Amino acid sequence: MSQYNFEEEIEEKAGGEFERVPVPKSNLKGWTSFLGMYAGEHAAGTEFVIGPLFLTAGVSAFDLIIGLLLGNFLAVLSWRFLTAEIAVQYRLTLYYQLEKICGKKLVIGYNLANGILFCFLAGAMITVSATAVGIPFDMEMPKLTDTMPNGMTWILIVIGIGAIISIVAAKGFTMVSMAANWMAPFIVLAFLACGIVAINQLGVKNFSDFWNIWGEGSDPFPGQIKYTFWHVVIWSWFANAAMHVGMSDLSVFRFAKSANSGWTTAAGMYVGHYMAWIAAALLYAVYLQSPEAQLILSNGQAPNVAPGPLAYNALGVFGIIAVILAGWTTANPTIYRAGLAFQAIMPKVSTFWVTIIAGTVATVAGIFPAFAMKLLDFVALYGFILAPIGAVIVFEHFFHKQAGIVKNYAEVANIKYNKAVLFAWAISFGLFYFISLQFDIFLSFVTLPAWLFCGILFLVFSRMWQRKIN
């Protein structure tokens, strides 16, 4: 059977999401599809957790407000000029494009790690939604230090939410995008309303009062580290490192009519990772003034960061609905991405079913609150692990001619794994992870050096080891 027919057969069995062929022109989507998806995904469940966690890290007003402004701008530039630029050139999923460069055997390990890490992130969002659903049941909320589920009610609620989200994600990109467009305006309005209500509850009369909520910063809460200006900038830039410099969103932007759709990520960054983070922090600031929170602090513990009760305190039932949908709109595309990763390992299995598998893993992860309560640390870790592989794609795309190497070498040379990729990732990951541990350096600070070093090593090793192709 010819390669062309084989790919057609795979595509038919996979379920029509163009996992192993370029997206045809007839299926390309305009910028509005991406606007809703990014606004919905990033003004979402994570924001209800991350905003309060910045307060627990003792940030100052300048560090938070100006640091987020700069860090999110760098993230948008990364999406537009790296991810979207490459995506519209080839219109392939991250996983199939890596297979061409790395070889099938090597990319299996990456796809497995990628899929599992995305499942854990989606699980954290299911946890967020569960804190809202549990309010009518008077459910005990997970604490900042909790790692295990605290009861059967929690487990049943997480399973129910996970099942619904997984089925929607399994319907494919069109359904994921449609759901995000429906929910995004409601969620954005909810975050804005939360911020306004919290400002009133805090007695803010002018900008000076608003600034003084954070002031010059404070000591971090028990168990947290102190965040400075550069912690905020670098962390907010690389909070989605796996998606932009890590190239995961090739799988999304392959549907874009032009690379300019990459600018739509600004809706996610400045509505979600700016306005929503600050609004969620304000909700937590209100809670910290309560007798309950003051008692917890006086006992040397960190008060709970449970999004459901925080939003309910501000907006009532509207807040509960907002948190449920916010968790949904992050978990949905994340499970979709994880499903594509697993489908790349099992190309003849329906995308629907591998996405259901991904959703099941995410649901199990959601039962354990640790992924949500330690979200700042987890996001930094998964970005650090996955981002350097994206450098392989970026450096090959932009510098293959200057380096004198063959593009898509594994496919051209018909090899199962490309050792240049393996050694470049392993050395860069090992070196900079060791530096982070040995010198107690914030992990996000070494993500960019690891990414650059991996890309450079890939070019050097490829030049050394690639055999001449006739």
Is 277 within 8 Å of 421 (Cβ atoms)?
Answer: no
Structural domains in the chain? 24-376 (1.10.4160.10)
- Given 3-state DSSP classes, what are the helix, strand and coil percentages for the chain, each rounded to the nearest 5? 75, 0, 25
Is 244 within 8 Å of 155 (Cβ atoms)?
Answer: no
The Cα 123–Cα 141 span in angstroms is 16
pLDDT (tens, 9 = 90+) of the chain, 470 residues, equals 333 343 343 344 344 567 677 888 878 888 888 887 787 678 776 787 788 888 888 999 999 999 999 999 999 999 999 999 999 999 998 888 998 999 988 888 888 888 888 888 888 888 888 888 877 777 777 776 667 887 788 888 889 888 888 887 777 666 666 666 677 777 888 888 889 999 999 999 999 999 999 999 888 887 778 999 999 999 999 988 988 999 989 988 999 999 999 999 998 899 889 998 999 899 889 888 888 888 888 887 777 777 778 888 777 888 888 887 777 777 777 787 788 778 777 777 777 888 888 889 989 988 888 777 777 788 888 889 989 999 999 999 999 999 999 999 999 999 988 999 999 999 999 999 999 999 989 888 999 999 999 999 999 999 999 876 54
Per-residue tokens: 407: 């593009």
**pLDDT for residue 17:** 65
Is 442 within 8 Å of 232 (Cβ atoms)?
Answer: no
Per-residue tokens: 231: 């912690």
**pLDDT for residue 200:** 92
The Cα 392–Cα 323 span in angstroms is 37
Single-letter amino acid, residue 90: Y
Angle at 65 (CA atoms; ends 59, 68), nearest 5 degrees: 90
**pLDDT for residue 13:** 39
Provide the 8-state DSSP code for 28: -
**pLDDT for residue 455:** 97
Look at residues 412, 405, 404 and name the one whose alpha carbon lies nearest to residue 470.
412
Helix and strand counts by DSSP (H, E) for the chain: 23, 0
Residue 116 CB contacts under 8 Å (≥ 6 apart), including other chains? 338, 361
Single-letter amino acid, residue 240: N
**pLDDT for residue 252:** 87
The Cα 463–Cα 404 span in angstroms is 7
The Cα 91–Cα 256 span in angstroms is 9
Hey, which residues does 29 pair with through a beta bridge? 256
Provide the 8-state DSSP code for 80: I
Is 44 within 8 Å of 270 (Cβ atoms)?
Answer: no
Taking the CA atoms of 218, 220, 225 and 231 in sequence, report the sign of the dihedral they define.
negative
181: three-class secondary structure by DSSP: helix
Whole-angstrom CA distances from 129 to 96, 164, 316 are 32, 12, 15
